[in-house]
Chains A and B, each alone.
Chain A
Amino acid sequence: MTFELQASLRARSFEMSLSLEDGETVAILGPNGAGKSTLLGVIAGLLRPDSGSARIGDKELFNLDDGTNFWSPPHLRGTALLAQEALLFPHLNALDNVAFGPRSAGASTATARETAQHWLAEVDAANLAKRKPSQLSGGQAQRVAVARALAAEPELLLLDEPMAALDIHAAPLLRRVLKRVLEGRKAIVVTHDVLDAYMLADRVMVVEKGRMVEEGPTRDVLERPRSHFAAGLAGLNLVTGTITGDGITTPDGRVFAGQHDSGWSPSPGQAGVAAFPPSSVSVFLGDVHGSPRNSFPVTITDLEPYGDQIRVRAGDSAQALSADITPAASADLGLVPGMEVRFVVKSALVSVYPA
């Protein structure tokens, strides 16, 4: 029972296709307004695209192509949606909230409550059964909402930033619960958080401006990012350009020497990217003697604390670079935004691979 979707919605310049194997969880990563929630809305049947089609196995969700105009309403799709807010029905207690799906499917009150008990236990919330939503904390409410979505026995579970509204103490517990219940289940998780992608997803898709820009197994995408967004999530500097013998050359003529991935023989002229951690970048004042490779004059745009380091950002957004240096070094150099300095990158820590 694979899930396949292809849809476009011109008003939001949204154009995406996506497929999920049985039991696969995909994380959708991307900046705000990239079209992540639009994607979930289209799948759940809450938003109608201009064209496209989607199916789960043999069951068509919608088909607006080739003159057909088939649109299945949300309640017949089997795609339960879990949003940032738990949205538990305020007039029902936790148990009856979870029993809502089974009841809607035609189960008797007693059977539905039994099912609800089971799912509440699955999310470690059995003791909350009698509470009204107003008596639950944010994390508790969200766990009950997970149980409610699962109790509806969805063929595809849609999670729209389920951890975003939780405080940092509640998120880890919910993440553990989700990891357990998503095992072997078809699910799409929209998230901002790289940890969610690592822990919950088999595969990630990076979307920007309504388009998919990158896709692959979670590990690969985060270790070898090809989009600026994924690089930002993985905490890496990313530079795009064309491959040369020992690195890449950017469109504005800067040369980054680095290490090619083993088992890959680059052909010069091919489009490539260079990725390196901010900790591999040093900051100098004035000219640097010796090898001029991987040494670039830049203008500092921002300084901010980052762990026990100072993160120095420089350059405009498209080819921005970051360096992490100690607060002492920053004070010694007297760094302030607007200052012209030189970034030097250790070539041993630069990974070069095809774009």
Chain B
Amino acid sequence: MNRKSASGYHGIPRWVYAVAAVGGLLVVLPLVAMVAKVNWPQFLPLITSDSSVAALGLSLRTSAASTVLCIVLGVPLALVLARGEFPGQRLLRAFVLLPLVLPPVVGGIALLYTFGRQGLLGKSLELAGIQIAFSTTAVVLAQTFVAMPFLVVSLEGALRSAGSKYEAVAATLGARPTTVLRRVTLPLVLPGLASGAVLSFARSLGEFGATLTFAGSLEGITRTLPLEIYLQRETDADAAVALSLVLVAVAVAVVGLSYGRRRSSTPVEVRP
């Protein structure tokens, strides 16, 4: 990552800067407007109310759990999509990426008809005494559903650009496929895996539609921070704004931390 020197030619027309500034403002201005609306004297009491603390704690716990689930399920998916060869591979990729473009509420309905009481698997699970819908498990499932594509896309890209030459060499040196995966493949794509995990965590943190549809809004059980904010907006606008700011702060911290760490570490260098 070599910084361009100030005198170097970069070939960007001036008007592009103007349009880019508009684009940047579109993101930043609403945040500024929100911060301007914060009721600062009441800020701490607002975000430390019982319901707020419960919602924030639930959000962090479920997002952490769904990120782990994304890694456990998403890494094999990305490997199979990037390296495997089997019929229907393109179709599988299309379906795995579907939640990226699907409205989350549609995802919630789909999950409900899978794990709900009358759902495809829900009926059998109900007989076994397991009820998923409207539980904290449902929150985690909904978040995993919408967040996993971020990890898969990010990791699949990293796997493709790393190529499989190192794996071939490792195999001729006597390493079993599992050893190659653990000692060569995963370390090589670690930056891609980390940024994918961060994106998944951030997406889980912000998940609203699928959670509300599939898990409902039960305080302390399924009411995550976004749901709490939506609810508070009706009755106490100041509380909604304060909690929104907390969510923004957590998201900025997570993303900033991971990108800051990646910049300081030495990038993987592949010699031509």
- A interface list, Cβ under 8 A from B: 44-46, 73-81, 83, 85-87, 89-91, 100-101, 103-105, 132-134, 138, 141, 148-149, 152, 154, 158
Contacts and interface: CB of A to CB of B under 8 A. Distances in A.
B97 interface: no
Closest 6 CB pairs of A and B: A74-B171, A104-B175, A81-B172, A101-B173, A91-B187, A152-B173
B271 A80 contact: no
Contacts of B272: 85
Nearest to A141: B271
Given A100-B183, A104-B179, A90 B269 contact: yes
Contacts, number: 83
Nearest to A74: B171
Contacts of B105: none
Contacts of A45: 171-172
* Interface residues of chain B: helix, strand, loop or mixed (majority): helix
B8 interface: no
Given A75-B174, A90-B188, A152-B174, A81 B266 contact: no
B245 interface: no
Contacts of B176: 75, 104
A83 B169 contact: yes
A83 B163 CA distance: 15
B184 interface: yes
A351 to B, nearest CB: 42
Contacts of B32: none
B165 A87 contact: yes
A89 B172 contact: no
Nearest to B271: A85
A79 B172 contact: yes
6 contacts: A75-B174, A87-B165, A89-B184, A91-B190, A134-B266, A152-B173
Interface string B232-272: 00000000000000000000000000000000001011111
B271 A86 contact: yes
Contacts of B168: 44, 46, 74, 81
A187 to B, nearest CB: 14
A81 B169 contact: yes
Contacts of B166: 87, 89
A77 B268 contact: no
B65 to A, nearest CB: 29
A69 B193 CA distance: 38
Contacts of B172: 44-46, 74-75, 77, 79-81, 152, 154, 158
A312 to B, nearest CB: 36
A75 B175 contact: yes
B64 interface: no
Given A46-B168, A100-B183, A134-B269, A91 B174 contact: no
Interface in B100-157: none
Given A91-B188, A134-B266, A134-B269, A105 B170 contact: no
Contact of B268 (A75, A81, A91, A103): A91
A78 B174 contact: yes
A154 B266 CA distance: 33
Contacts of B173: 75, 80, 100-101, 104, 148-149, 152
Nearest to A90: B268
Contacts of A73: 171, 177
Nearest to A43: B172
Contacts of B271: 85-86, 133, 138, 141
Contacts of B183: 89, 100, 103-104
A133 B173 CA distance: 18
Contacts of B266: 132, 134
A77 B169 CA distance: 13
A14 to B, nearest CB: 19
Nearest to A86: B271
Interface core residue of B165, B168, B184 (most chain A CB under 10 Å): B168
B188 A75 contact: no
A37 to B, nearest CB: 12
